[in-house]
């Protein structure tokens, strides 16, 4: 049943529920409610200190994660992963994450005034493109005149014929 404007509510005039029977809580009772129950864990009262239960699932109490000790055996690290290459980072990735490369990108953006030099789009998804390829000309990787600003669409249209450089 929905409420209609002007209708009186069902509990109008009632002071307390049947549980309180119209009596306010005593001072001792209020103080007792402030003290936490002994043995109450995150999910309620625990039977032992080593495990807690939640909806019938036993979980480790001090494992430091929320996944539980049964799932820990499925976590793989390092050489257990089939794509592991021995902890080496390719030189290409090291260069592209270096401070010098980030400064070079910023200089190219500022040189072209944050505008795509082909379509004139300003801002948005801008990328820095090497005019002469990054891999073939290591001496020109950080040269300001070897870079240009392109938007994502124009950068996808660039075709570099590698045979011209070889």
pLDDT of the residue at 16: 54
**Does residue 82 contact residue 74 with C-beta atoms inside 8 Å?**
no
Q: Would the pLDDT of 141 be above 90?
A: yes
Tell me the pLDDT of the chain averaged across its residues: 75
Domains, the chain, with CATH or none: 26-78 (no CATH), 91-164 (3.40.1800)
* pLDDT value at 32 more than 50: yes
Residue range 109-126: average pLDDT? 93
Q: Strands 57-60, 147-151: parallel, antiparallel or unpaired by DSSP?
A: unpaired
Q: Tell me which residue has tokens 């075709």.
A: 159
Contact 160, 150 (CB under 8 A): no
Q: Residue 37 above 80 pLDDT?
A: no
Burial tier of 50 (Cβ tally within 10 Å: 0-12, 13-18, 19+): exposed
Q: Residue 130 pLDDT more than 70?
A: yes
58 by DSSP, 3-state: which? strand
The CA distance from 104 to 145, in Å, is: 11
pLDDT in tens, 46-65: 444 444 445 555 555 444 55
Please tell me the chain's helix, strand, coil percentages from 3-state DSSP, rounded to the nearest 5: 30, 15, 55
User: Minimum mean pLDDT among 35-39, 70-74, 150-154: which range?
Assistant: 35-39
Across the strands, what pairs with 60?
51
> H or E stretch including 122?
none
Higher-pLDDT residue of 130, 7 = 130
Mean pLDDT of 29-37: 68
DSSP state of 115: B
Residue with tokens 């003290």: 35
Residues 66, 42 contacting (CB under 8 angstroms): no
């Amino acid at each position: 049943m929905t409420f209609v404007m002007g209708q009186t509510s069902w509990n109008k005039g009632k002071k307390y529920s049947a549980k309180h029977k119209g009596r306010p809580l005593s001072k001792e009772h209020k103080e007792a409610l402030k003290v936490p129950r002994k043995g109450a864990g995150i999910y309620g009262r625990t039977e032992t200190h080593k495990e807690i239960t939640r909806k019938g699932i036993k979980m480790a109490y001090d494992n430091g994660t929320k996944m539980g000790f049964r799932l820990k055996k499925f976590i793989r690290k390092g050489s257990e992963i089939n794509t592991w290459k021995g902890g080496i980072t390719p030189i290409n990735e090291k260069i592209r994450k270096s401070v010098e490369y980030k400064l070079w990108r910023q200089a190219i953006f500022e040189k072209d005034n944050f505008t795509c030099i082909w379509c004139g789009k300003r801002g948005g998804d801008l990328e820095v493109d090497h005019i002469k390829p990054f891999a073939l000309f290591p001496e020109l990787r950080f040269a300001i005149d070897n870079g240009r600003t392109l938007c994502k669409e124009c950068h996808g249209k660039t075709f570099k014929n590698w045979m011209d450089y070889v």
